[in-house]
Amino acid sequence: MLGDKPPKKVKKLPECEICGEESDKLIKCKSCGAKFCEDCGSPIEQLCEFCAEEEEVDEEDLKDVDGATEEVEDDE
């Protein structure tokens, strides 16, 4: 009988670990390993939005440190 075949399994697309949306293409974050969609990070840099934000903060901290490299004299 034709109607006795089991239904075909529908392949479910993988889900973004950041937003939970299904996507046909996920990128693995090179920093934390999370798999994210193009909306939740930078595919070019291979960083999820959280690691990209951390990297920006680190770069700003380095700029602050570079600007404060004046020598301090001891008053002894």
What are the pLDDT digits (tens) for 43-58? 999 999 999 998 887 7
27 phi and psi angles, rounded to 5 deg: -115, 140
Q: Which of 30-39, 45-54, 61-70 has the lowest mean pLDDT?
A: 61-70
DSSP 12: P
2: amino acid identity, one letter = L
Q: For the chain, what are the domain ranges? A: 15-66
Closest CA to 51 of 28, 19, 26, 22: 28
What are the DSSP calls for 15-60, one per residue?
A: BPTTT--B-S--EE-TTT--EE-GGGEETTTTEEHHHHHHHHHHHH
Region 30-51: mean pLDDT is 97
